[in-house]
Amino acid sequence: MNFPSKETVATVRTQYPRGVRVEVVRMADPHTRLRPGDRGRVMYVGGTGTVHIAWDCGSTLGAVYGVDAIRRLPELQVQCLECGNIFNGVPELDVVGWYCACPECGSHFEVEKEGS
Binding site for Zn ion (CB under 5 A): 80, 82-83, 85, 102, 104-105
Q: Toward Zn ion, which CB reaches closer, 57 or 105?
A: 105
Helices (H), the chain: 6-15
Minimum distance between the CB of residue 93 and Zn ion, rounded to whole angstroms? 20
Q: How many Å apart are CA 4 and CA 60, to the nearest integer? A: 22
Distance of CA 68 to the CA centre of its chain: 15
Q: How many Å apart are CA 107 and CA 101, to the nearest integer? A: 6
Q: How many Å apart are CA 98 and CA 8, to the nearest integer? A: 27
Minimum distance between the CB of residue 86 and Zn ion, rounded to whole angstroms? 10
Q: How many Å apart are CA 20 and CA 6, to the nearest integer? A: 22
Minimum distance between the CB of residue 56 and Zn ion, rounded to whole angstroms? 26
Q: Toward Zn ion, which CB reaches closer, 8 or 85?
A: 85
Minimum distance between the CB of residue 76 and Zn ion, rounded to whole angstroms? 16
Q: Toward Zn ion, which CB reaches closer, 5 or 88?
A: 88
Q: Toward Zn ion, which CB reaches closer, 67 or 83?
A: 83
